[in-house]
Structure 1
Amino acid sequence: MKSGEETEHFGELNDLPDDSHFLKPYLLKLRQKAGQEDILCEHLALSDNFLIRFLRARDFDVDLSLKLLINYHRWRRECPEISANLHSSSVLGLLQNNYHGVLKSRDASGSRVLIYRIGQWNPKDFTAYEVFRVSLITSELIVQETDTQRNGLKAIFDLQGWCFAHAFQINASLAKKISAVLTDSFPLKVRGIHLVNEPLLFRPVFAMIRPFLPDKIKQRVHMHGSSFLCSLCQHFPHSILPPEYGGTGPGLDEVCQDWTSFIAQSEEYLHQLSVTGPP
């Protein structure tokens, strides 16, 4: 058993199970501070399993965890066009078009790896808000995983097929909402953002989002271009990447279809989030 002094170190706290008695003081302090915030009064029955996500996301700094918790609830309240309807049916057509998937295996650091295929998004059928909802649905599902709370996520955005119709969907307001989730409004650590096949047309959109990102996130954005097979494998093991990205793991279609099935199986939980909010 670790001593109390040893467990003060974040790395060791992060490795402890949710029910460890060493974590109880942090949970108690966060709950007490949350009780003093008007925006959180209606959510005071939140479980320890929910609160610990925010502590892990902020290295068990209670004040920073509280700020993140407040931002999360404020974001959900102020962005109902995205957060109020997390039912899989609202984005099923996009998912069935193999737009998005989550790799079965984690990377070497234990991060979840998400893939988005922009070319599979038809802007005539789905708005950017609906596309963003897909990302929020996945985030709400994977944040339940203790390993993901500890090790965060990395995302690969395949921008092949990006065109003017996509660009016209992204405005400054949406760019700010996207950056908020990436930085200070959701209890997940973003360990890396990897862009492949990015065209010149995408640069103005990224230039709109970039100012809202903190330096830490900016440093984790990697642009691989169309010659990405070698450079992408410098960040991810060959064994987990799909063959389409130079790896030996399951193919993209299989990855996307499996994740679509998982989202569909999670409909009851997503319904609860949409109607009553987090447990």
Structure 2
Amino acid sequence: MADYESLDVHSHLLGPEESWFPGPPPPLYTCTLSPALEAKARDELQEKPEWRLRDVQALRDMILKEQPNLHTRLDDAFLLRFLRARKFDYDRALQLLLKYHGGRRAWPEVFSDLKPSSVKHVLDLGFLTVLPRPDPHGRYILCLRPGRWKPNDYPFVDNVRALYLTLEKLIQPEVVQVNGIVILADYSGVGMSQASNPGPFLAKKVVSILQDGFPIRIKAVNIINEPRIFKGIFAIIKPFLKEKMAERYVLHGSDLRSLHSHVPGSVLPPVYGGTAADLDLSAWAALLLRSEEEFIVEFCQPHPLEGAALPDSLLYDGDGTEEDGFRALRSQLYYCY
């Protein structure tokens, strides 16, 4: 059952406009998880509250010793994201952190000057949003609507920029770090022009960053209203998915009863047969835009890897052709548990 009490623990950190989405832990870290979520983190993520800050310090020491030129955030709340995403395995958490920064260096067209105002056109179009109510497992629902985008509107990479900013905002609250998220992708209106974008090479890069370089748990991907051409779209994505993640893709077609068996109608808007409020594209866009200064500090400064020497295995392959993309590393969309 959902631990809804835990969703209100950040309300004192937020203005009234933002109170529907939990905020990040306070600057001087204090755990904001409810007892039930602490128990869940212990069971699923190997997180022991009595050792939590000791584990953070261990990871911090590893970074300072092994990557002294990595100018990354070292605060407790930030490092906890990576420990939770890798079940408190120090070595794997460090690898994830390096991949996180490596992806940013390898794809400057996504990460340069990355801030909400630079993707306002994507948000206004309604390519993505986050539903205001989590599902019964406490997981927020990221709603993607690729059919809203047309290739003549703007480059596809702008969608990636908006997606990354959304994930960055989503991962701030500890409840999301523990519960993970669910994706709802509505393919209404998707035709050949969208299906030919981004292509296998760009798809590989998006998948690589999300699977190896971002500390979030993607627990399910629900596809609805997929056209016949979706088989071709999924054929581009599937080579990069591990079996465990591929099994979390559920195709519902236009069957809303099937969707409701995975995502309750009580948290869905009427457009998806639900009983929650109408789909509001402005709320999430406004929340991101109010975070402009926060993202300027995070992404519009000298790159954290400047001067850091990393092995090739920790950097993304930025070269190649679309044919190379099909033959390249077959991996999952996100390494989740």
| Per-residue deviation, residues 100-142 of structure 1 (Å, max 9, x unmatched) | 2111111111111010112211221122211111110100111
Aligned partners of 1:160 and 1:198 also within 8 Å: yes
Once the two structures are TM-superposed, the CA of residue 94 in structure 1 deviates from its matched residue by: 2.0
Once the two structures are TM-superposed, the CA of residue 32 in structure 1 deviates from its matched residue by: 2.3
2:266 paired with 1:243: no
Once the two structures are TM-superposed, the CA of residue 168 in structure 1 deviates from its matched residue by: 2.3
Once the two structures are TM-superposed, the CA of residue 13 in structure 1 deviates from its matched residue by: 5.3
Distance 1:141 1:9, change over 3 A: closer
Partners of 1:111 and 1:180 in 2: how far apart?
23
Aligned partners of 1:159 and 1:197 also within 8 Å: yes
RMSD: 2.3
Aligned partners of 1:117 and 1:160 also within 8 Å: yes
Aligned partners of 1:114 and 1:153 also within 8 Å: yes
Name the amino acid aligned to 2:63: A
| Per-residue deviation, residues 122-164 of structure 1 (Å, max 9, x unmatched) | 2211222111111101001111111000011111111111112
Once the two structures are TM-superposed, the CA of residue 21 in structure 1 deviates from its matched residue by: 4.8
Partners of 1:12 and 1:204 in 2: how far apart?
36
Partners of 2:299 and 2:111 in 1: how far apart?
7
| 56-65 or 72-81, which deviates more | 56-65
2:182 paired with 1:154: yes
Counterpart of 1:96 (choices 94, 114, 124) is 124
Partners of 1:35 and 1:243 in 2: how far apart?
51
Q: 2:54 maps to which residue?
A: 25
Partners of 1:76 and 1:70 in 2: how far apart?
10
Count of residue pairs brought into register by the alignment = 266
2:287 paired with 1:259: no
| 117-126 or 136-145, which deviates more | 117-126
Aligned partners of 2:266 and 2:275 also within 8 Å: yes
Aligned partners of 1:107 and 1:237 also within 8 Å: yes
TM-score scaled to structure 1, two decimals? 0.88
Aligned partners of 1:170 and 1:205 also within 8 Å: no
Query: Counterpart of 1:239 in 2: which secondary structure?
Result: helix
Once the two structures are TM-superposed, the CA of residue 217 in structure 1 deviates from its matched residue by: 1.1
Q: 2:86 maps to which residue?
A: 58
Q: 1:232 maps to which residue?
A: 259
Aligned partners of 1:183 and 1:217 also within 8 Å: no
Query: Counterpart of 1:41 in 2: which secondary structure?
Result: coil
Partners of 2:260 and 2:41 in 1: how far apart?
36
Counterpart of 1:140 (choices 163, 168, 181) is 168
Aligned partners of 1:13 and 1:23 also within 8 Å: no
Partners of 2:213 and 2:161 in 1: how far apart?
15
Where does the alignment leave 5 or more consecutive residues of structure 1 unmatched? none
Where does the alignment leave 5 or more consecutive residues of structure 2 unmatched? 1-34, 305-337
Aligned partners of 1:68 and 1:187 also within 8 Å: yes
Partners of 2:51 and 2:110 in 1: how far apart?
37
Query: Counterpart of 2:266 in 1: which secondary structure?
Result: coil
Name the amino acid aligned to 2:165: I
Partners of 2:120 and 2:226 in 1: how far apart?
26
Name the amino acid aligned to 1:27: V
Query: Counterpart of 2:133 in 1: which secondary structure?
Result: coil
Query: Counterpart of 1:200 in 2: which secondary structure?
Result: coil
Q: 2:154 maps to which residue?
A: 126
| 42-51 or 127-136, which deviates more | 42-51
